[in-house]
Chain A
């Protein structure tokens, strides 16, 4: 229960930081996606289910205030939480390669989903220029920021929350 409350507070806190302070550290009007980092990190640290719940509520918060379609970001973040949860099952969570690559892949997935579902369908076909102007800079900035903030989420997970038992998610245990 305590873990859930802390997780929920962190969701709200991340959302508020993303919408206020993160825009101050934007480089050339590109800002990193802190919410996505948090969702992916929860997936890595606590598994697929937690990743999905965190993704769902983070996405819902964004939809409530900024989304043009209610439920759109929630849907994308649920899938990001789910897929990054596979890293929890397969790898150790304190390996830099794991979390950097997971966030990299998640952000790619996120940006392509937004482009594909909201821009391509409106007839914006120039993927190349979106790739150069938005997607690639954002993905790299977000991955870079992960290097710094992952330690914070790691600390929250191991010192403020009850850590999840990894064995319960393992493929080798017969359920």
Chain B
């Protein structure tokens, strides 16, 4: 008698599969129409996962540095002697470089690139985890909306453009790298100011390259080594962020536009510290 009263809900695995599939499809449909996922759920999950990721990453880093310091200690003594000798030659060189610096400043104003990185407000952040799998290149940084980071903020490293913020939690933010296969950046060449689109390509990532398309360059002035920066007409990237150097140029079959590849100076595999520019391009529009 007792057994009969007990309510047993025995779900067959086939039915469970259908139910879970339907749930996932509902999520997909909602995220198609309303953007990515429920915010409160994300915030809760971030509250649990992010601190652990931060600790794992910092333990890992400190372990590595501890190993390195032991190894480097001996090398440092020898290096110090060499370096002292080098200091003298370098001071000499430095004097010459200071002169070059003045020249560079003049050239930069010529290039109309006076809007340097230094002009934008930045927040330093550290990468704490990377996406699982090899198909996409997104990562999480340890600063979030409470540090003033918003969606569409540009992310740079000391060398050049890294990516763009796609999601924020209160103490974390997801960044999509420019080498990600679904990333597109509106860019321009420095010397001629021609516009093109720079997009990530999974097949080129191994070589540290990006692809650019639709470069309109009838006078054939763009050559290998040309500097590519973010363009003035981009609506998500602020102007003048360095992307990379042109490494290949090919004319399209239409004879009007060109495509090719760009070498990026950023080492995405060993990237650890980045800067987030907390000014969005849209803010700049609103100010005007």
- Enumerate chain A interface residues (CB-CB to B < 8 A): 12, 15-24, 26, 28-31, 33-35, 47-49, 52, 56, 59, 61-72, 74-75, 78-79, 82, 85, 111, 114-115, 118-119, 122, 124, 126, 129-130, 133-134, 138
Pick 23 A–B contacts, CB within 8 A, sort by A: A12-B48, A15-B49, A19-B53, A20-B56, A20-B57, A20-B60, A21-B56, A28-B206, A48-B16, A49-B11, A64-B37, A65-B49, A68-B136, A69-B36, A70-B30, A71-B28, A74-B24, A74-B27, A75-B21, A78-B24, A111-B135, A119-B135, A134-B135
List of A residues within 8 angstroms of B48 by Cβ: 12
Other A-B contacts than A65-B46, A71-B24, A129-B203, 19 sampled, CB-CB below 8 A, are A16-B129, A21-B60, A26-B269, A31-B134, A52-B17, A56-B23, A61-B49, A64-B45, A65-B174, A69-B32, A70-B28, A71-B26, A79-B17, A115-B135, A118-B135, A119-B135, A133-B202, A133-B203, A134-B135
Interface: B138 (CB within 8 A): yes
B28 touches A75 (CB 8 A): yes
Q: Indicate if the CB atoms of B134 and A29 lie closer than 8 Å.
A: yes
Q: A65-B140, A66-B132, A70-B27 are in contact. Are A52 and B20 (CB under 8 A)?
A: yes
Answer whether residue B13 sits at the interface, using C-beta atoms and an 8 A cutoff. yes
Mark contacts of B129-146 with chain A using CB atoms, 8 A cut-off: 1 yes-contact digit, 0 otherwise: 111111110101000000
| CB pair A138 B134 closer than 8 Å | yes
B138 touching A82, Cβ below 8 Å: no
- Given the interface pairs A16-B53, A19-B53, A78-B24, the reply to whether A64 lies near B41 with Cβ below 8 Å is yes
B159 is an interface residue with CB less than 8 A from chain A: no
Cα distance, A4 to B265, chains bound together (Å): 47
Residues of B close to A63: CB separation below 8 A: 27, 37
Q: A75-B25, A119-B135, A129-B203 are in contact. Are A69 and B31 (CB under 8 A)?
A: yes
* B181 interface hit (Cβ, 8 Å): yes
Which of A16, A62, A82 has most chain B Cβ within 10 Å? Answer: A16
Q: Enumerate chain A residues within 8 angstroms of B26, measured Cβ to Cβ.
A: 71
The minimal Cβ–Cβ distance linking B109 to chain A, given in whole angstroms, is: 40
CB pair B133 A114 closer than 8 Å: yes
Residues of A within 8 A of B37 (CB): 63-64, 67, 70
- CB pair A122 B182 closer than 8 Å: yes
- For B53, B134, B174, the residue with the greatest tally of chain A CB atoms inside 10 Å of its CB is B134
Contact of A70 among B13, B36, B166 (CB under 8 A): B36
Q: Quick one: closest B residue to A49, CB to CB?
A: B13
Q: Which of A33, A47, A111 contacts B132 (CB 8 A)?
A: A33
Please determine whether A78 and B17 come into contact, CB atoms closer than 8 angstroms: yes
Closest Cβ of chain A: how far from B207's Cβ, in Å?
Answer: 11
Q: Please tell me which one of the listed residues A64, A72, A114, A115 contacts residue B42 in the complex, with CB atoms under 8 A apart.
A: A64
Complex CA distance for A152 and B160, rounded to whole angstroms: 42
Task: Give a binary string over B168-198; 1 marks a CB under 8 Å from any A CB, 0 the rest.
Answer: 0000001000000110000000000000000
* Interface-central residue, A12, A19, A52, A72, by most chain B CB under 10 Å: A19
The reply to whether A62 and B132 form a contact with Cβ atoms under 8 Å apart is: yes
B228 within 8 A of A: no
Interface centre among A22, A62, A70 (most CB of B within 10 A): A70
B251 at the interface (CB under 8 A from A): no
